[in-house]
Amino acid sequence: MNKNLKIAIIFGTRPEAIKIIPVIRELQSKKIKVSIIVTNQHQEMLSQVLELFKIKPDHRLNIMRKNQSIFDVMAVGLKKLKPILEVEKPDLVLVQGDTMTTLVGALAAYFLKIPVGHVEAGLRTHNKFSPFPEEMNRQLVSRLADFNFAPTRKASANLLREGILKNRIFITGNTGIDALLSISNSFENLFLKKLILITAHRRESFGRPLKSICEAILAISKKRDDVEIVFQVHKNPAVSNTVFKILGGKDKIMLTPPMEYEFFVSMMKSSYLILTDSGGIQEEASVLGKPVLVLRNHTERMESVKAGVSKLIGTSKVRIVKEVERLLDDKKAYGKMARKLNLYGDGKASQRIVKIIERKMCL
């Protein structure tokens, strides 16, 4: 192995951190030099994960500003990354997922002619505005990446159909499953009723769709005496203002700020049913055997939908109430969805990624 190999890892949000930290740990265990660069696209939520896994960034860009747009993230991110990468001179830049930080990191590396590795490559809805801008972020990074680390065969097939060279695609599993399986602490189920766990934060859910989701949740809480509802509320005012206006102070509904990752995993384990527009939770829930109703019209995680452990239901109030009550009342329907499946990985994706990097970069 080339002891002088140096890898820069760029991330900025909580989901990215959760999924890239297993790779960081694996690289460090191999004594490979790692430079950790965080954009702080998320602030407090990112810090929670870094503290949990005891990760100390080498550089913090602190790009977040009040009411900033994706234009600001792109412009400020590129400007701040340039001098850092010029000083660090990494042999490879790793980015993860589909955020604006992912795209900015890959572009900055490309502009400086530094090879790019994309962790969790190849996920697609084939609708460029759903999710927005994440779908196109992924597609653009795939064109820039020298290493596309695809979590599944389906993701690999997506890349091949788009003309990505086969020798740039590597099926590894998803590092998010590595992170999930590393959280070993169990959680005593303190809920006497059926827990419905909810998250909703996608940009395309802002406005009327989120209002409809909240109205459905309120209707369920009023109709059912056998449930308790926990809604993890994203800090973005476009989410929190709507959620608290409709659901704040209502019986049987607990609104929480973003939980520490370890605690959120415990909440998933304790849940009866999960409603979410999150991609990562669709993956994690399948490992835990928790049915997921996906609050979106399109998903890039079709593996779990086809396996029958998650279901796309959109944001219609009537549809949400109907699907939730079906799973609460129909034991057979619930049983078909409440199955533990390793659709997205076996907990060894990070090991595979690092082995590929060692093999390809140290020839």
Cβ neighbours of residue 135 closer than 8 Å, sequence gap 6 or more = 98, 124, 125, 126, 127, 128, 129, 300
| Residue 224: active-site member | no
From the candidates 16, 120, 283, 323, which is the catalytic residue? 120
Of 179, 70, 180, 173, the residue nearest 121 (C-alpha):
173
| Residue 42: active-site member | no
From the candidates 16, 26, 98, 178, which is the catalytic residue? 98
From the candidates 203, 262, 298, 325, which is the catalytic residue? 203
Q: Work out the angle between the directed axes of helices 175-182 and 14-29 (0-180°, nearest 10).
A: 80
| Residue 98: active-site member | yes
| Residue 201: active-site member | yes
From the candidates 16, 134, 178, 283, which is the catalytic residue? 134
| Residue 234: active-site member | yes
11, two tokens: 């991330």
From the candidates 42, 224, 234, 301, which is the catalytic residue? 234
| Residue 346: active-site member | no
From the candidates 138, 201, 296, 352, which is the catalytic residue? 201
Q: How far apart are CA 84 and CA 347, in angstroms?
A: 32
Of 194, 125, 155, the residue nearest 344 (C-alpha):
155
Q: What are the residue numbers of the active site?
A: 98, 120, 134, 201, 203, 234
